Amino acid sequence: MIQEILNYKKVMGEIEGLLNHSPYKKSHIISKIGLAPATFYRKLSAQSFTPDEMLALAKILSPREALLLEIEQSEKDIENGNYREHSVVREELRKKFL
């Protein structure tokens, strides 16, 4: 557990550099994570992003890695039977909204 916390602190310390070298403008990143610009810059300087905000930043800054992780999780869900057939979901939505 200590190693995970140390890794988190390391990433938190590197986030400004990652943002500066990102192909995205900071205004785009700020709008995607849903923070006010002043809040974003305050959290950036204080290194006080929440884990959820850090995850949102990571998904924006590393979209390929985020997609691969999502695919991996989906494959695990299928293996574990955590899915529903499209026709079943469609019928549930039809009953709910029509």
Cα separation, 5 vs 72, in Å, equals 24
CB 94 within 8 A of CB 66: no
Mean pLDDT confidence for 79-86: 92
Whether the full predicted model's pTM is greater than 0.85, yes or no, is no
Mean pLDDT confidence for 80-88: 92
CB 60 within 8 A of CB 54: no
pLDDT in tens, 17-46: 999 999 999 999 999 999 999 999 999 999
CB 42 within 8 A of CB 50: no
Domain boundaries, the chain: 1-61, 64-98
Express as a percent the part of the chain with pLDDT over 90: 92
Mean pLDDT confidence for 7-12: 90
What is the pLDDT, as a whole number, of residue 34?
94
CB 29 within 8 A of CB 19: yes
Cα separation, 97 vs 35, in Å, equals 32
